[in-house]
Amino acid sequence: MLTPKKNDNIVSQKNGIMNNLKRFYLTFFVLISLNALQIKAQEKSDTEFKPYGNFNGTVFSNFHVQVNSPVYESAFEVQRAYFGYNYYMSENFTALLKLDIGSPNQTSQYDLLKRYAYFRNAGLIYKRNKLSLSFGLIDMFQFKIQENMWDHRYIYQSIQDLHKFGSSADLGVSASYKFNDFISTDFCVANGEGYNQLQTDNSYKSALGVSINPLKYIIIRLYADYTEKDEIQTTYSSFLGFDNNSNIKAGVEYSIKENYNFNKNQKLNGFSVYGLYRFNKLIEVFGRYDQLWSNTIDADPYQWNINKDGSAIIAGLQVSPIKNVRLALNYQDWVPYAKNIDNKYFMYLNLEYKF
């Protein structure tokens, strides 16, 4: 059997990179052209734009108790703190900087007690009419709509974020364009390593998403990405959401990641359904159900991710006494599919405040 030479692999990687860049430049050119056609002649304003900036911050904290533990386990935590500054350079250009202070999500309990500060965003954004362009360490579009629909990131991460279907931010360049009230699209080329990892190879992730609003309160989201290394890793996700801009939000999403972490034939599936009901500005109830499962490979009797596969339920009551402060009493559990791993049941009191 003939095996590919190392030079052939290098050429293949270079071709993949060039194809990714060609896709982006083509999309960029089309979006710029469409945007230019919609720009109308405007009279020059009597007053010039004055640059300005503002600081902002968000803090997640909680107190929790594990209710099924033989030893009474409880703790106060500050899970995460975001501190940022936005500088509005002109009517179209914005520079943003955000620090993320929190755990690096490592598995060791010792590491989970550590706190690291690293850049969450450091980018430049251009917006004009229906076009938006971003460059640098920027937010990704992969599950942003789903996360906004869930609306309780301070309590529990969205399923794609929690189980590493993708990163919420990355180094790269992106473009989004809203054609009309019915459809919009987004495209990006990024390192694919996430915002707390450095680029260590010549591989890039290309991603394309389409958002559709067939009715006023309905949104449909379709997404796919492609990354090529020794194996080709792809992610596909679909989402259906309802938001009446008043008291009800609900969403259901399903995602697949093939060749997970570039391991051949490893497939990870994620399903999540959630909703909330607001009685008024002060009180709301919310609930969510997740499932995570993987496939078996060859003659292995167990799924490759069996130690992490399982299901979760989150449900609770949220109170917002003043604007930018939210407090939630909620129940969280995790039921692993592996028979030799114990179920986990928790009661949480979560707090989020912004400034």
> Token match 């020794």: residue?
230
Residues forming a β-bridge with 60: 80, 352
**Contact partners, residue 325, CB within 8 Å, separation at least 6:** 351, 352, 353, 354
**Are the CB atoms for 262 and 231 separated by under 8 Å?**
yes
| Cα 333 to Cα 316: distance, rounded to the nearest angstrom | 12
Tokens at 185, concatenated = 């699209």
Contact 163, 256 (CB under 8 A): no
Token readout for 265 is 């034939």
CA distance linking residue 238 with residue 132, whole number of Å: 23
Spatial contact of 177 and 184, defined as CB atoms under 8 Å apart: yes
Containing 286, the helix (H) or strand (E) segment is strand 283-294
pLDDT value for 236:
98
Tokens in use for 226? 């492609």
Q: Residue 208 forms beta bridges with which residues?
A: 187, 224
* Residue 18, CB-side half-sphere exposure with 13 Å CA sphere: 6
pLDDT at 22: 59
Comparing C-alpha atoms, which of 312, 47, 296 is closest to residue 158?
312
The token duo for 335 is 């039921």
Alpha-helical regions (H) of 55-164: 109-112, 144-150, 159-162
What whole-number distance in Å separates Cα of residue 27 and Cα of residue 43? Answer: 30
Residues 6+ apart with CB under 8 A from 144: 168
Residue 337 in contact with residue 310, Cβ under 8 Å?
A: yes
Q: What's the confidence (pLDDT) of residue 10?
A: 47
Q: What is the pLDDT along the chain (355 residues), one digit of tens a residue?
A: 444 454 555 445 555 555 655 565 566 565 555 565 555 444 444 468 899 999 999 999 999 999 987 777 888 998 899 999 999 999 999 999 999 987 655 545 555 566 678 889 999 999 999 999 999 999 999 999 999 999 999 999 999 999 999 999 999 999 999 999 999 999 999 998 888 776 667 789 999 999 999 999 999 999 999 999 989 999 999 999 999 988 999 999 999 999 999 999 999 999 999 999 999 999 999 999 999 999 999 888 899 999 999 999 999 999 999 999 999 999 999 999 999 999 999 999 999 999 9
User: Cα–Cα distance between 132 and 160 in angstroms, integer?
Assistant: 24
Predicted TM-score of the model (pTM): 0.84
- How many angstroms separate the CA atoms of 281 and 105, rounded? 33
For residues 177 and 28, what is the distance between their CA atoms, to the nearest angstrom? 10
Give the separation between CA 188 and CA 144, rounded to whole angstroms: 14
3-state DSSP helix/strand/coil % of the chain, to nearest 5: 15, 50, 35
CB 243 within 8 A of CB 220: no
